[in-house]
Structure 1
Amino acid sequence: MEEEKGTTGSINLSLNGKEEKINLSGQVHHLPFCIKFNGPCTVSQYFKPKLKGMEIDGLAVEEAHFRGRKLQGTTISLPNGYAGFVLAKNNSGKRKACDVSEGNSNDWEMKAKFDKLTYWNHDAPPSKDDPFLRSFHWFTVAEALHKQVKAEDLATIDAALA
């Protein structure tokens, strides 16, 4: 039986001498489709979201078109204590010989940061029931699961069960 080998890597979120971090808040978009292109493009010349002037479930609705398809979305803030990062592979620094020969780099560095993003739906306005927005409920669940339990909490539970 062959033993599986794990890989290790690192993510560097420091500024590395940069005076100001690049803030992409309001410029990050979660689109309901895949674009099979990885390179420079003048996106702002073609993709021009506009506020519709209406709110649904307390969300300001935006509208845009991509290749003739109507998109409706909203800009949301990430929960307090959370941030989004744009990462890129770090091609400098020490790497193992096997990583270099296989072309695998597991060292990443922060290129930009954001605390707001816009998510889009095809032909449907955004709502609190959208799966993307509902996934943010997991932040609350994770916080509750990892919250430190105090002796008073245990005593209260013991008294309630007795």
Structure 2
Amino acid sequence: MSITLDFDVKQLANKRQLELHYLPAKINGDGECANVDKYFNNYTREASDYGTGVLTNALRGYPLLGKREAVPKGYKGVVLQETDPHQAQRQLRLTGTFEEFTYWNYDKVPSKGDGYQQAMTMLQVAEALAAPIGEAELEEELKRQQQAKKENL
């Protein structure tokens, strides 16, 4: 099975900015979009009891705690929609972009233990591992290791 992305980079600048919420819920439905501004955003409040930047709301009676997160510098958030999920050849098209989003937990305060936070940490680790090392830095590290070896003998 192959996947085709149906957009080019020029479209990224022209697509509308979206307001995204990542909810801990699965919603089965193909109906009209919910009026998020009226029925959800109007009830979002800062929950200073849990720390700076923590938000509170509820979804169908379940309390939610959330946090706004920016897309890391140098990256662009994109929303892709599958044109026909029943085809063997899957095709995704660009429907919008975002610079930040709000992610919600229903059972805990947002923290470094959340999946998104861990993914961002791994992104930083991957960038550090992939960064080129200069010759001077390499020589300095070799000297440091030799010195540590001498001290351990």
Using the size of structure 1 for normalisation, the TM-score is 0.71
Cα separation, partners in 2 of 1:131 and 1:57, compared to 1, 3 Å? farther
How many Å separate the matches in 1 of 2:134 and 2:49?
42
Equivalent residue, structure 2, for 1:52: 46
Q: Give the counterpart of 1:9 among 4, 12, 17.
A: 4
How many Å separate the matches in 1 of 2:64 and 2:120?
21
Equivalent residue, structure 2, for 1:80: 73
Which residue identity is paired with 1:50? Answer: T
Which residue identity is paired with 2:96? Answer: A
Structure 1 contact 84–114 (Cα < 8 Å) conserved: yes
| CA RMSD between the two structures | 2.8
The alignment of Structure 1 onto Structure 2 pairs a total of residues equal to 143
Q: Give the counterpart of 1:41 among 30, 33, 40.
A: 33
Equivalent residue, structure 2, for 1:22: 16
How many Å separate the matches in 1 of 2:115 and 2:5?
30
Cα separation, partners in 2 of 1:28 and 1:55, compared to 1, 3 Å? farther
Q: Give the counterpart of 1:127 among 101, 104, 111.
A: 111
Partner SS for 2:14: coil
Q: State percent identity of aligned pairs.
A: 26
Cα separation, partners in 2 of 1:67 and 1:90, compared to 1, 3 Å? closer
How many Å separate the matches in 1 of 2:30 and 2:126?
33
Using the size of structure 2 for normalisation, the TM-score is 0.75
Equivalent residue, structure 2, for 1:116: 100
How many Å separate the matches in 2 of 1:122 and 1:19?
34
How many Å separate the matches in 2 of 1:90 and 1:71?
32
Partner SS for 2:89: coil
Structure 2 contact 3–89 (Cα < 8 Å) conserved: no
Which residue identity is paired with 2:4? Answer: G
Structure 2 contact 47–56 (Cα < 8 Å) conserved: no
- Structure 2 residues without counterparts, runs of 5 or longer: 147-153
Structure 1 contact 89–106 (Cα < 8 Å) conserved: yes
